[in-house]
Amino acid sequence: MNRERVKGGIGMNRKKGGGRTIFRSGIACLFGICLILSALTGCAGGGGSRESGSLPMQAGGGEETVESSAAGEGASQEIYEVQVEQKEFSLPDHLLGVQFDGERAVAFYSLLDADSGQYDGCLYEYDIDLDTFQPVLEDLPQELLGGSVNWYRTSEGNYYAYENTGSFVCLDEAGEELCRREADGALAQITETKYGETVLYYSDTRVETFDLRTRKTESKGRLGDIVGGRLLAPGYEKSLTVLETSEGICELGLSDLARTDYLKWDRTPYAMEGEPVALRQVSARSCEILLYLREDGSYRRDTLTTEPIREDGRTVLTCRTAAYVAPSLRNLAAGFNQSQTEYFLTIESMGEGEDYEDYVQRTAVDIAAGRGPDLIGEAALSSPLAMIRQGVLEDLTPYLEKSGMQWSDLYPAAYSGFSYEGGVYGMAYELYPMTVYLREDLAEDMDEKNIQGFLKLLERKPRVGETFNKDLFYTPAKILLLLLGNSEDLQGLVDWDEYTCSFQDPLWAQILEASGRWGIQEGVSYSKTLAATCLGYDLKSYTAADGAYRDAGMVPVGYPLREDMAVFASAENIGINALSAHKEGAWKFLEYCLGDEGQSKTDYFPADRKASKRLLDEAREEALEKSRAAEELAEEYREQGLFEPEQQPDVFRDGKGYIITQERIGEIEDMLEECRSMPLRNQTMVDIVLEESGAYWSGDKTAQEVTDIIENRVQLYLDENG
């Protein structure tokens, strides 16, 4: 099935990944720190009371953009209990479109003759509810049934067949062509309003209406930027219902695109677990979403019914985090809320079009003013170390000891990332192991398994058509981060005991030179991959990536440090706001995340040893069964003379990636135990190094000039924070 046609230009931008963003620029300015100090010494206000309105979307291309209406801001204050009814189903191959036709959910598809490679000329309709199908149009040309064509049927019975390239054809219910035109740009979707006005939505977020009678379009403006994607559907009267994958559901007036928020994800525990392909607003409190589930290729129908949380006796808690973390946290929040009669948790993330630095600055100011969230994700903090040292985050050690949990229940990387001077100020509920893969022949040539050995290898190796992962844009800054960013003391250039630094160390000169020499250059083609980084999403994706690298002759070596090569565990550490009035409730959520039920809902590797053991034991049993099957098959082939004695069939691949083997399970167990936390104290210093090194890479300053500036700035930072 062509999944691009299913999406129709809608992209569910749920990134797997995360961890500490080293490029943060330490924007906790003097004003913010003064507010925090003032709040800590004189404010007794509680957290969890912030009521955030909708933020205006960013402008695009100077055209009209959507602004939040007063009604929209008011609506976004509601916190909703969401009842979700879910039903899974399958759809035919060669899918050409999915939509709601009134109350019915239907899909359009065609049939492909495998021998001739031609479609049978029919457009079929599949009724998802009744599980029936029928041909609706016949004798259609091949170009309307294959490729990247999408189909949409209007309430009047006309059909639009359109391509992402921008052209579309309109046919009547008998298949007669009514019009054909080239659209002005890439079409993401065609839909309509309740009263039958045809709406064209473009990939650059422009909205137009199309009048079939006059063949004319009318511009309505631009929706603006958003993290994720959008799906449009008919709204009430002359309006559109819009699902935004990272924000929620809103209604747009078609005349001016005035926005009224209908359901904000950050005010619910609902976690969208798939890619939306069709939407229907049933009533003011209910909607239906058809989702494509990428994991297994199936579909699901989610019926959402909302009830505002008012006087039901529960205390509302808030957790603020990054947009890419929010979906998995909402899934955990949903389970937590179902298990609770005392608390109700909502997840906040960065607003529409909001700049990241503005977002973390707003979080700092909100915390200082006593209106911050009860729980704070690492990605919402500009400088976690500064927040810990200023007492913004609560020490979680007493909570964990009181709960009966043991540190030994968790992998060290789950709590060491936010450990500071005997306290733990943040916990990770899941881990993303990160390691460097190196060509096997080069790994064998490393004299020392550390940063010195890695740099010597780069110095000896002539750069002829090779780079760090030729398919990714490894700039000098990324190379420098790979060599420097995972070391808390910047590879020994910083002495945290004395709060001093020395960038005159020859090691720094080697790092700076290597980053400039190996950083990818614009317009240069690279044919070979020297090294690459791998982020472990979950068991299957990690082993798939590992298998692909090993097939390419690469082996995992770890990130280079002064003493060894190490695997790092990136994670989203979550802490409790020290000013929250609901700290016990906030801990209850962290306790839920680290308990059996919460750990069963994680998207990545669980932080709890027992949960990972259950996961790996299941994989071990699967690998054992496949190994037995391989042995039986091999013996059968040998008896038939099809195999040499030493040959063994590869049954550990499933066509999509790598199926885990017994040997690999042992390696993963060791990796999770030995994973190191991402450094906590080096963020601001790495920002300084990156900012100043640019002048060397561009040729504006010598290496020594850049080194002197970096040393002065880093020492000033250490003097101010020692």
Residues 155 and 38 in one domain: no
Residues sharing a CB contact under 8 Å with residue 66, sequence separation 6 or more, in sequence order: 56, 57, 221, 222, 223, 224, 252, 257, 258, 259
What pLDDT, in 10s, does the model give residues 688-709? 999 999 999 999 999 999 999 9
Residues 211 and 330 in one domain: no
- What is the number of structural domains in the chain? 3
Q: Is the pLDDT higher at 719 or at 261?
A: 719
What pLDDT, in 10s, does the model give residues 583-609? 999 999 999 999 999 998 888 899 999
End residue of a domain, out of 209, 237, 269: 269
Residues 425 and 471 in one domain: no
Residues 562 and 690 in one domain: yes
Residues 200 and 342 in one domain: no
pLDDT of res. 82: 82
Residues 362 and 334 in one domain: yes
Residue 597, amino acid:
E
Residue 246, amino acid:
S
Residues 176 and 232 in one domain: yes
Identify whether 294 is part of a domain.
no
Q: What is the CATH number of the domain that holds 229?
A: 2.40.128.630
Could you give the percent of the chain with pLDDT greater than 70? 83
Residues 332 and 193 in one domain: no
Identify whether 662 is part of a domain.
no
Q: Of 321, 323, 322, 319, whose CA–CA distance to 333 is shortest? A: 319
Q: What is the CATH number of the domain that holds 447?
A: 3.40.190
Identify whether 147 is part of a domain.
yes
Phi, psi of 495 (to 5 degrees): -105, 105
Helix axes 609-639, 662-674, angle to 10 degrees: 160
Beta strand pairing call for 149-153 and 159-163: antiparallel
Residues 549 and 576 in one domain: no
Identify whether 411 is part of a domain.
yes
What pLDDT, in 10s, does the model give residues 311-356? 467 888 999 987 777 777 888 888 898 888 899 898 888 765 677 8
Residues 405 and 439 in one domain: no
Identify whether 653 is part of a domain.
no
Identify whether 651 is part of a domain.
no
Residues 550 and 469 in one domain: yes
End residue of a domain, out of 216, 242, 269: 269
Residues 193 and 174 in one domain: yes
pLDDT over threshold 90, residue 8: no
What single string gives the DSSP state of each residue in 495-518? ETTTTEE-TTSHHHHHHHHHHHHH
Q: What is the CATH number of the domain that holds 402?
A: 3.40.190.10
Identify whether 619 is part of a domain.
no
Identify whether 111 is part of a domain.
yes
What pLDDT, in 10s, does the model give residues 16-28? 333 333 333 332 3
Long-range CB contact pairs, 715-718, < 8 A, 24+: 715/500, 715/501, 717/684, 717/685, 717/688, 718/494, 718/499, 718/500, 718/501
pLDDT of res. 553: 87
Beta strand pairing call for 605-606 and 430-439: antiparallel
Distance CA 332, CA 375 (A): 14
What's the domain range around 340? 14-52+310-430+572-604
Distance CA 333, CA 339 (A): 10
Q: Is the pLDDT higher at 14 or at 358?
A: 358
Q: DSSP H helical segments within 406-503, as ranges?
A: 440-445, 451-460, 476-484
